[in-house]
């Protein structure tokens, strides 16, 4: 997935989170994803969406960019917004 595609997908998720009224908040590092409420998962996804732009264009941080996208997608799947098929299709578009 190239940088432009990652930006497009992240911006789509970011727009959905804004529409939902989600505020960004990093999850507590002492918690597991299972321990988070739906709103905490969405807040963490929003936090990641807003912070991915800080390093997305840095080739040396390519792996970190992919990890952030994966985490955003996991959060959105855990709350039931998207299926695995949906997420795979987002990555292909």
Using alpha carbons, select from 49, 52, 74 the residue that is nearest to residue 63.
52
Task: Specify the DSSP element, H or E, that contains 28.
Answer: none
Domain ranges for the chain = 3-92
Q: What is the pLDDT along the chain (93 residues), one digit of tens a residue?
A: 888 889 999 999 999 999 999 999 999 999 999 999 999 999 999 999 999 988 887 888 888 888 999 999 999 999 999 999 999 999 986
d(CA 79, CA 77) in angstroms, rounded, equals: 5
The DSSP line for 16-39 is: HHHHHTPPP-PPPTTS-GGGS-HH
Q: Considering the entire predicted model, what is its pTM?
A: 0.91
Residue pair 34/42 in contact (Cβ under 8 Å)? The answer is no
Q: What pLDDT is stored for residue 56 in this prediction?
A: 82
Residue pair 81/16 in contact (Cβ under 8 Å)? The answer is yes
Q: Which two tokens stand for residue 66?
A: 């992919």
């Amino acid at each position: 997935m190239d940088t432009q595609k990652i930006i497009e997908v992240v911006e789509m998720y970011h727009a959905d989170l804004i529409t939902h009224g989600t505020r960004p908040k990093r999850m507590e590092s002492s918690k597991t994803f299972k321990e988070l409420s739906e709103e905490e998962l969405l807040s963490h996804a929003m936090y990641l969406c807003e912070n991915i732009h800080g390093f997305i264009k840095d080739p040396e941080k390519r792996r970190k960019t992919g990890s952030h996208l994966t985490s955003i997608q996991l959060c959105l799947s855990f709350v039931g917004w998207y299926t695995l098929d949906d997420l795979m299709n987002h990555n292909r578009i």
